Chain A
Amino acid sequence: MRTRNTNGLGLLWLFALLSLAIPSAEGAEKIGAEEVMKRAYLAEYYPGDDMKAKVLMRLVSGDGKERIREMTMLRKDLQEGGEQRYFIYFHRPPDVREMTFMVWKYPRRNADRWLFIPALKLVRRIAADDKRSSFVGSDFSYEDISGRGVEEDVHQLVREERLDGREVYVVESRPREARGTEFSRKLSWIDKTTFLPLKEEYYDTRGDLYKVFSADELKEIQGFWTITRRTMKNVQTGHRTEATFQEVRYNLKLSDTLFTERYLRAPPAEAVR
């Protein structure tokens, strides 16, 4: 499968060539902010047709107290940029060990979520608010984990600059629906080559900076640029979460049937070890 970034790169070159030949019309030679965010969304949440990764999260409070969350995450795309299925199996800490969490994500509507509690052999349906819920007590919300639709915000290209030696687009996003959203404004530094966000700043409803996201390590895995280490820091509380994606693999040909109650109750060993 051709990677999104190579398509993007090709288009950029074409635009650059055209801009030399054609007298510049407003916005015609530049890539629009919405297009940047669309590609960023696909690059971050849709690489490959499916994915398996071991995720280790370190939750560090302002005074240095540390908690660990370790899980195996599986993702399958039913539609590029659209419906997805997620399966998360918790290894640590002991109170969530062996719980499995399944999400059926839909564009433009609330996701369906299930949680299997092994001690009770109970499958619970979770009613959660994507926008605000913290994922397992970390600084990442559910929305940070599975993605926020591009059409939910109005985007504006603020400037282009260099960040840590890389060419980036700086995009400002404001939610269309102010009610129920965590942030009033978000600034994203999107890498021009990979279209992955290298840094994000979230401003709360009062306009104060409250969360900062940074992509600490990028690796090319099976041709897909992947953020293998990322940090979300709450600058107001001093609490931060460092997430490491290990053993990342794409295009494993995961079956649709894996994302059903059957495997929620009894995950196959190959999927979670």
Chain B
Amino acid sequence: MKLWTPILLSGLVVPLYAQGFSLHGFVEVASGLRVVEDSTQPKDLVLGEGRVQLELYQEWEGGPRLFLKTDFLGDVADEAVKVDLREGYVDYSPLPNLDLRVGRQIITWGTGDFLFINDVFPKDYISFFIGRQPQYLKLASDALKASLFVGAVSVDLVAIPFFTADTVLTGERLSFYDGLTNQIVGKDASIVLTKPARTPANTEWALRLLRQFGSYEVALYGFKGFFHSPLGVRDSPRRELFYPELAVYGGSVRGPVLEGIAYLELGYYDSLEDRAGGNPFVENSSMKYLVGYERQAWSDFTLGLQYFVEQMLHFDRFTTSQPPGAPSRDEFRHLLTLRLTQLLRYQTVELSLFVFFSPSDQDYYLRPTVAYKITDQLTGVLGANLFGGAKQSTAFGQLEANDNVYLRLTYGF
């Protein structure tokens, strides 16, 4: 994958500045430091990088369009230079009502704000926790997407033959709770992640049907593939985790309510390798519920609230199957989020706070940021990621020793 980026780019230098060509991007320096003691991590630098992103766009007579987005990264924290093809796809419409997109592409569905039920596509949680731009939370899938427009209904069908996993906590930069040993681990975690075999039968499929009824958007979703996080234990002594098979069925509604926007989303996560729920090595099936509301309380100030519930199904079988000493999990995990955004000085300054709070897990995650548009091209962002919790085994509680503060300076062109 890393080799064909320079080849593709050099091949396209030929039509440079020809009709239908554009090149944009940004240059960014970012630095983030841990502000609490973490005995499992030798380095306090959680983020240290110089990044150049290039976005190349080329369209041809007759319709096909090429889009390439590549990052060239000098990573001080990992002491490495990396080339990352973020997206690389071709768009083509063979029929007036059919759009095809082939290649590496980010796909985003669903209604949640930093909460995902029917958006089953891969995520990069590490980037999210260390202060990279929000776009890095989403990872691209190597896929073929067909969008068909039939009257007022749009149908999106995605085939993903090459599995892309979530970027999850494995101890390199951030410490986390290791369920295999019931303790916080970091750099010496040595987790082995085993991805599904690359066979045609392991192609993942995702479907969305979307229709608008007046001002209300209604969608139905389906997914058949694998968990993108390694929620299965293959070999505990070898510390090997795997990605169990998963099907997701869900729906959502979004539209205006009073002076704001309200949305509702549901999803049934069918854990295909443990439908009965008694296998302690595979995540149980669950139901996920989300209700959210966002409105502008006063000029340039937006407020968003969400209430999210994850219900583990076959909970009784789960509890009896757990080995002694395993951390307790609730049948219902409740999560509240709050987003506050205030724009100032002709929208050149943005003060923002996003809060995750779980009353059932008794943990939290705060994301305060201050962004200043120094000029039209140059933006500075100062932010923090603050974690805490009563127990070290919960989603945010485990990250307690990873509190960090970061600064990003981005020049766009």
**Contact assessment for A61 and B346 in the assembled complex, using a CB-CB cutoff below 8 Å:** yes
The answer to whether B108 and A129 touch across the interface, beta carbons within 8 angstroms, is no
Does B300 contact A94, Cβ atoms closer than 8 Å?
Answer: no
Interface-side segment among A32-40, A133-141, A153-161, A242-250:
A133-141
Complex formed: what's the CA distance from A191 to B259 in Å? Answer: 35
Cβ–Cβ contact A269 & B20, under 8 A: yes
Known contacts A94-B24, A94-B376, A261-B154; A133/B296 CB under 8 A: yes
| Cβ-based interface call for A2 (8 A) | no
Q: Mask for A120-131, Cβ within 8 A of B = 1, else 0?
A: 111101111100
Annotate A6-25 by CB proximity to B: 1 below 8 A, 0 otherwise. 00000000000000000000
B359 within 8 A of A: no
Task: Indicate which residue in B154, B294, B348, B412 contacts A137 across the interface (CB closer than 8 Å).
Answer: B348
- With a cutoff of 8 Å between Cβ atoms, the chain A residues found around residue B26 in the complex are 94
How far, in angstroms, from A257 to B97 measured CA to CA in the complex? 11
Instruction: For A67, give the chain B residue with the smallest CB separation.
Output: B376
Take A94-B412, A95-B412 as given contacts and tell me if A119 and B135 are in contact as well, using a CB distance cutoff of 8 Å. yes
The chain A residue sitting closest to B25, CB to CB, is A94
Contact (Cβ within 8 A) A121 B138: yes
CB contacts (< 8 Å) of A128 on chain B: these are 296
Q: Is B99 an interface residue (CB 8 A)?
A: yes
Which of chain B's residues have a CB closer than 8 A to the CB of A120? 106, 108, 134-135, 137-138
Residue-wise, chain B 270-312 has the 8 Å CB interface mask toward A (1 for contact) of 0000000000000000000000001110111010000000000
* Cross-chain contact A261 with B348 (CB below 8 angstroms): no
- Please pick, from B59, B107, B217, B296, the residue contacting A127 in the complex, using a CB distance under 8 A: B296
- Distance in Å: Cβ of A78 to nearest Cβ of chain B: 14
Query: Which chain B residues border A261 with CB–CB below 8 Å?
Result: 154, 210
Q: Does B373 contact A (CB under 8 A)?
A: yes
Q: Mark B298-336, 1 if CB is under 8 A from A, else 0.
A: 111010000000000000000000000000000000000
- Contact partners of A119 in chain B: CB under 8 A: 133-135
Is A258 close to B, CB under 8 A? no
Task: Bits for A255-269, please: 1 = Cβ < 8 Å to B, else 0.
Answer: 001001110001001
Chain B nearest CB from A194 CB (Å) reads 31
CB pair B347–A137 under 8 Å, yes or no, is yes
The winner among A125, A126, A137, A261 for most chain B CB atoms within 10 A is A125
Once the chains are docked, how many angstroms separate the CA of A269 from the CA of B59?
A: 9
User: Please, which residues of chain A bring their CB within 8 A of the CB of B261?
Assistant: 125-127
Q: How far is the CA of A112 from the CA of B212 in the complex (A)?
A: 12
* Alpha-carbon gap, A260 to B24, bound state (A): 26
Min C-beta distance of A125 to chain B, whole Å? 5
Q: Is B179 an interface residue (CB 8 A)?
A: no
Q: Is the CB of A112 within 8 A of B256?
A: yes
Contact A134 B412 (CB under 8 A): no
State whether B107 touches A121 (Cβ < 8 A): yes
For A, the interface residue count at a CB cutoff of 8 angstroms equals: 35
Residue of A nearest to B346 (CB): A137
Q: Which residues on the B side are within 8 Å of A112 (C-beta)?
A: 215, 255-256
Contacts of A133 in B (CB 8 A): 296, 299-300
Q: Are A121 and B373 touching (Cβ within 8 A)?
A: no
The answer, yes or no, to whether A209 is at the interface (CB within 8 Å) is: no
Question: In the assembly, what is the distance between CA of A121 and CA of B208, in Å?
Answer: 15
B124, CB-defined interface residue at 8 Å: no
Q: Is A239 an interface position by the 8 A CB rule?
A: yes
Task: Report A14 CB to chain B, min CB distance, Å.
Answer: 41
Provide the bound-state CA to CA distance between A132 and B297, in Å: 11
Whether A82 is near chain B, meaning CB under 8 Å from some CB there, is no
A68: chain B residues within 8 A (beta carbon): 376
Compute how far the CA of A92 lies from the CA of B213 in the bound complex, rounded to whole angstroms: 33
In the docked arrangement, what's the CA distance between A173 and B412, Å?
43
C-alpha spacing A269/B67, complex, angstroms: 14
A137 vs B215: C-alpha distance in the bound complex, in angstroms?
A: 26
A122 to B106, CA, bound (A): 9
Q: Are A136 and B347 in contact (CB under 8 A)?
A: yes
Q: A93-B377, A132-B298 are in contact. List 20 more A-B contacts (CB 8 A).
A: A92-B376, A93-B412, A94-B376, A97-B412, A110-B256, A110-B259, A122-B108, A125-B255, A125-B261, A127-B259, A127-B294, A127-B296, A128-B296, A129-B299, A133-B299, A134-B300, A138-B346, A257-B149, A261-B210, A262-B154
For this complex, 8 residue pairs linking A to B, each with C-beta atoms less than 8 Å apart, are: A67-B346, A93-B376, A125-B261, A127-B259, A132-B299, A137-B343, A260-B154, A262-B149
Binding site for A on B (CB under 8 A): 20, 24, 26, 59, 65, 91, 99, 105-108, 133-135, 137-138, 147, 149, 154, 210, 215, 217, 254-256, 259-261, 263, 294-296, 298-300, 302, 343, 346-348, 373, 375-377, 379, 412-413
